[in-house]
Structures are given as structure tokens and as C-alpha cells.
Amino acid sequence: MLTVTATIFMGCRENKKSEETETEQSESSVAYAHGFHIQKFDDYTVLEVTQPWVGANTHYKYALVPKEKLAAMNFPKDEFDAVVGTPVEKIVVTSTTHIAAIEALEELKRLVGFPDTDYISSPDARKLVDEGQIKDLGMNEVINTEMVLLLHPDLIIGFSINEDNNSYDIIKRAGMPVIYNGDWVEQTPLGKAEWIKFFAPFFQKEAEADSIFKKIETSYLEAKKLAKKSTQKPTVLTGGLYKDVWYVAGGESWMAQFIEDANSDYLWADTPETGSIGLSLESVLEKAQNADFWFNPSSHTSYAELEQVNTHHKEFTAFTNKKIYSNAMDKGAKGGLLFYEMAPQRPDIVLKDFIAILHPELLPDHELRFIKPLE
């Protein structure tokens, strides 16, 4: 059922604000994520997304109301970008990271559509795709709006790099809420994982999300503490060539944080970039030729492939010593990378992978899951 009607936007802004002050219960604990926050009131929840994409100046504010209370609610006009009745029954998401969070909350059965389902790697989600329960909606940039309207979801969780998205505009004009998600903008491992709390209120599963995240947080912090026990701090190179440019992870990026927390010396740790840095092969050789470890050499998965695409790869000590590891080794049934779908939800496992590789004596029994050696 659609969850937005004209009547919910009626009322007096001033009266409602004073009402909110009296009935406000609490602000949900969001400790690591910077892109959203949640406030709970007696009769509804306010979800505010402050960082939907990089450099965003626009904030989005959504009211999530239990369905049995929705008809009685009168919100001031334009107070919220969307009002959604909960728990939702049908949902469309637009990034594979959304799928991992929904799966952790055990709500995959609510997912009815996704743009380009070949990117989905989760075995349980792929089963639903194969059974026709999750429909392919084309490409995210030009999502099949007709199909979305036919599916009649309660809402769409949108992924976008800016506010110019004609498909989302069409969907909103049809009365379906588009809720922007910015989990991909977060630059810390625990910050990304904490976005499970963003999804929880739609399913009235806040307690479950808090419990799931607490376990992940505890596991991550314990692993970080364990890494510090090593007296060795190996040097690390990241990235690889794309055409003639070598892209390394910036010093303030998600990947750099993993490497730091695993107690190693990332050679570009002092750079301010939160994304990747484009460099020449010569400059990378000069700085990192003798790096002890090399992680994520583009999409290459074997030493033979690395040597074939550029013979200069053999000049790196990590190549000679077979100390190159990749996050692209495991793929889903249609070629999607498991790392990009599932790792943001389980940063504790990613960190343990790094520790087991960089300091094998600390985690001798750990089985690598996301970061694995080249063939």
C-alpha cells in the first residue's frame, strides 16, 4: 500500500514543533556514521540523512510512522521529504550494500526490485532473483520507472551521486517515497557498518539492528587491539594500474583505515584524500617498490595476469615474494564482487583478514574471507 497521502501534510508547523518537544523520547545512538541520525518520538520516528552523496548541501528528513497510527497523524506541510508507514511490506533498493543490511535484518523477503540484478552476489538474494521475486529494474541511472510503478513498493531506497535524477523525480511524482541512502560516503569501517541502523526503523527492527551492530563493533575493536600486540609493522602498497594511471587508496579512505587498524605502515597514510589518488607507475615504483605487501591490484587475480598486462609489476618486491592479495578473488554467480556487497556490513571480518595476512602469528586459525592471495 502507498504510505503518503495529502492529508498527512496538513497542520500547523508551530503547534507541531511544540508537540514534538513535549513528546520526544530519545535520539538513537549513532556513534560512527556521519551521514544520518535518528530521533524517536512517542508516535513516530524521524530519520534525517545529512550526507546522501559526496559534497551534498541538501539534507533529507523522513517521518516513519506505524501504519496503525498513520491516518491520525497531521504533519506540517513540507516538514518532511516523505512519510512512510511501517513496517514496510515491499521495498526497492538500488545498491548491493543495501541488500547486505536487509539480509542481516532477515527482511530479504520484502525486496521486490533492484537495478541490474547481475550485480547481486548474495546466494539467498540470487535465489529470489532466480525465482522472480526480485525484479530487474534496468540501470540505476535510468531505472525502469514503469516497472517500479507496477511493483507498487512502499518506498525506494535511492543511491545517487547528486540530486539530479529524473527517474527518482518521476517516482516521487507518482506518490512513492524515495529515501536517499549515503552509506557509500562513509570513510570508516564501523561508520559504514552502522548504516544497518538506517534500515531498521522501516521494519520496526531497531533493537535487532543495535544488537547486530554491537557485536560487529565489539569484534572489530577486539581485533584492532589484538593487532597492536605485533612488534612488526610491515609496509603496504595498494591499488593498481588503470590504463596509464595507478590508483592508490587515499590516506583518509575506508581502505587506509583498515590497513592502519591492522597495525601496518601504509605508504600513503599521510595523504588527505578520502577516495583514490591517481599516480604514475614511476612514482609508485619509486615509493613502494620494496613494500612488504601489496593489496588490491585493480581487478587482476593472478601473478601471470599482472605480468602480462605490464612487465614492470615484476619489479615490486611484493610480486617477487608472492605477497599480493586482492578483494576481487570471490565473485557472485553473475560476476558481482562479494567484497563490495558484503564487506561493508562485516568490517570486523575484513580487519581480521588483514591481520591474518600481515601478522599471521596473531590469528593462525583465521580463514580468509574477503582478502585472498593472488593465484
pLDDT tens-digit map of 56-114: 999 999 999 999 999 889 898 889 999 999 999 999 999 999 999 999 999 999 999 99
Dihedral sign, Cα of residue 237, residue 249, residue 263, residue 351:
negative
C-alpha cell at 10: 496538513
Shared fold status for 6-216 and 231-373: yes
126-139: b (≥16 Cβ within 10 Å) or e: bebbeeeebbbbbe
Domain ranges of the chain: 6-216, 231-373
Average pLDDT over residues 246-260: 96
What pLDDT shows up at residue 212?
Answer: 98
**Model pLDDT for residues 9-51, shown as the tens digit of each residue:** 333 333 434 344 344 555 668 999 999 999 999 999 999 999 9
Res 141 pLDDT > 80: no
Helix 96-104, helix 123-130: angle, nearest 10: 110
Pair 256, 249: CB distance under 8 Å = yes
Task: Kindly indicate whether the domain formed by 6-216 is annotated with CATH number 3.50.50.60.
Answer: no
Binned at pLDDT 50, 70 and 90, residue 272 comes out as very high
C-alpha cell read off for 76: 506540517
User: Is pLDDT of 157 > 70?
Assistant: yes
DSSP, collapsed to helix, strand or coil, labels residue 72 as coil
Q: Fold for domain 231-373?
A: Rossmann fold (3.40.50)
pTM: 0.90
